Amino acid sequence: MRMYARFSIATAIGVGLLATSVPQASAAAPHTDFTCKSPKGDVGTVRVFHSKDTFKVTSMHYKIKLAGPKRHHNNVYVHDYKAAPGKTDVVSKTGDNGKGDNKWHKFREKDYSRSNKAKLYVKFDFDHSGADPHCDDFGPLKKR
């Protein structure tokens, strides 16, 4: 009986530790996906985690699935169009080192506030030998 009680306490502590190590930006958190496909078949997705009212962005992740071999010189850009017409800020970019491995990569960790009516513009430049194809997506964050 005593061993069972110790096992239960140890198990409870272990489960508690596991629960605290779950990333804040889980798939259940409010988020909006922006996805596009290039003419060569490459697919890019940016997942933006945000507050329920969309006034605050908490993090961004990207995933690139290349139609050809894995390459790691892709570019991802995210522009946030503020409430004022024509006013935009580049809020995230990978530079020339976006990974094309079909896995999620975090590339924006700093929270920022925004107008909930503002829209995001997402652009991908996919790394290929020769000309690099691109695609883009545009729209508002979705309230949840």
Q: Mean per-residue pLDDT for 103-131?
A: 88
Per the domain annotation, does 45 fall within a domain?
Answer: yes
Residues 37-53 have pLDDT tens digits of 999 999 999 999 999 88
Per the domain annotation, does 7 fall within a domain?
Answer: no
> What is the domain count for the chain?
1
Q: Mean per-residue pLDDT for 27-38?
A: 91
* Bridge partners, residue 74, by sequence: 98
pTM for this predicted structure: 0.77
Per the domain annotation, does 94 fall within a domain?
Answer: yes
Per the domain annotation, does 108 fall within a domain?
Answer: yes
Q: Give the pLDDT of residue 13.
A: 38
Q: Give the pLDDT of residue 135.
A: 97
Q: Give the pLDDT of residue 27.
A: 61
Which residues span the domain enclosing 104? 25-140
- Residue 24, helix vs strand vs coil: coil
Per the domain annotation, does 3 fall within a domain?
Answer: no
The token duo for 53 is: 């009212």
